[in-house]
Amino acid sequence: MGRMLIALAARDSGHKIVGAVEARGMDTVGSDAGATAGIGSIGVRISDDYGAVARRGTVTLDFTNAAASLEHLEAAVKNDSAIVIGSTGFSADQERRAREIAPRIRTVIAPNMSVGINVLMKLAEQVAAILPDFDAEIVEIHHRTKVDAPSGTALGLGRAIAAARGIDLVSNAVHGREGITGVRPANSIAMMALRAGDAVGDHTVIFGGPGERLELIHRAQSREGLARGALRAAAWLENQPPGLYTMRDVLNL
């Protein structure tokens, strides 16, 4: 994602790359960010000190992991910087802390920056309200190296469906099934996580009713959709007051 973001931002006159950060100990630290991304030198060296890069007037595009993203958010708040976070896998405590401090600066936090996925979330919410008696199931597949399950996007879809139906997702979520499970509870929202190969990420929302089934599908063909959405969020944040926003705010959905 870092390489993709650098490559796309460097080709867009609306963005200026002023810093790049990698984890401590990585062999790319100190290298030119453009050369690492395969687009040639851009005069920006990769650092391992996020606090030195996140300055007032900058927007960070953060695609790391939950723990690192929370550290970066803390540093962005301290430096009065702005940040777009696309990481997933936040624990309840991490999410609570993020929601507490993020509104102090301009922040976008979204489990998926893809424009198409966020339209899917809106559609899933609308269908859930229109068809309240249809069973809702979510199936997602990602690459074998993804460490959290279900995906943050699947959880976002589940929350959208639950909100439309006025129920709590946590108490109604089903994660996989095995054995004699009994009759499906009416309000349950199931999320099935598949991990195989190098799948970028597919999400299918199934609404099943008597004699018919409606399926909404989004397939990510590359990570470019995520990167373009993140750049769009960064540009949008520039003109916003401090607050915690989502991609649905960015896209006015």
The tens digit of pLDDT for each residue in 56-114 reads 999 999 999 999 999 999 999 999 999 999 998 899 999 999 999 999 999 999 988 99
Contacts of 87 (CB under 8 A, 6+ apart): 62, 63, 64, 65, 66, 68, 69, 152
Q: Does residue 63 contact residue 87 with C-beta atoms inside 8 Å?
A: yes
DSSP 8-class letter at 211: T
Among the listed residues 54, 56, 58, 41, the one whose alpha carbon sits nearest the alpha carbon of residue 6: 41
> Which tokens belong to 228?
């373009």
Spatial distance between the Cα atoms of 14 and 235, rounded to a whole number of angstroms = 8
Q: What is the mean pLDDT of residues 39-66?
A: 94
Q: What is the mean pLDDT of residues 191-195?
A: 97
pLDDT category of residue 175 using cuts at 50, 70 and 90: very high
Catalytic, out of 15, 72, 78, 142: 142
User: Does the annotation count 146 as an active-site position?
Assistant: yes
Q: 2-113+223-250 architecture in CATH?
A: 3-Layer(aba) Sandwich (3.40)
From first CA to last CA, the distance across the chain in angstroms is: 25
Spatial distance between the Cα atoms of 215 and 179, rounded to a whole number of angstroms = 26
Please tell me the chain's helix, strand, coil percentages from 3-state DSSP, rounded to the nearest 5: 40, 20, 40
Task: Give the pLDDT of residue 111.
Answer: 84
Catalytic, out of 72, 122, 143, 146: 146
Q: Which residues pair with 208 in a beta bridge?
A: 135, 213
Amino acid at 104: R
For the chain, percent of residues with pLDDT exceeding 70: 100
Task: Give the pLDDT of residue 153.
Answer: 92
> Which tokens belong to 67?
């723990």
pTM: 0.82
Q: Which residues pair with 139 in a beta bridge?
A: 192, 204
> Homologous superfamily of 115-219 in CATH?
Dihydrodipicolinate Reductase; domain 2 (3.30.360.10)
Contacts of 147 (CB under 8 A, 6+ apart): 65, 89
Q: What is the pLDDT of residues 138-172, one digit of tens each?
A: 999 999 999 899 998 999 999 999 999 999 999 99
Kindly state the helix (H) or strand (E) to which residue 237 belongs, with its residue range. helix 224-237
Contacts of 66 (CB under 8 A, 6+ apart): 87, 88, 89, 90, 91, 94
Task: Give the pLDDT of residue 48.
Answer: 94
What does DSSP say about strands 202-209 and 243-245: parallel, antiparallel, or unpaired?
A: unpaired
Q: What is the mean pLDDT of residues 9-20?
A: 93
pLDDT category of residue 207 using cuts at 50, 70 and 90: very high
User: Does the annotation count 142 as an active-site position?
Assistant: yes
Residues carrying CATH 3.30.360.10, the chain: 115-219
Q: Which of 5-9, 87-91, 206-210 has the lowest mean pLDDT?
A: 87-91
Q: Does residue 71 contact residue 87 with C-beta atoms inside 8 Å?
A: no
pLDDT category of residue 11 using cuts at 50, 70 and 90: very high
Q: What is the mean pLDDT of residues 228-239?
A: 94
Angle at 69 between CA 63 and CA 71, to 5 degrees: 150
For the chain, percent of residues with pLDDT exceeding 90: 92
> Which tokens belong to 178?
């095995």
Spatial distance between the Cα atoms of 114 and 228, rounded to a whole number of angstroms = 7
Q: Quick check: helix, strand or coil at residue 20?
A: strand
Residues carrying CATH 3.40.50.720, the chain: 2-113+223-250
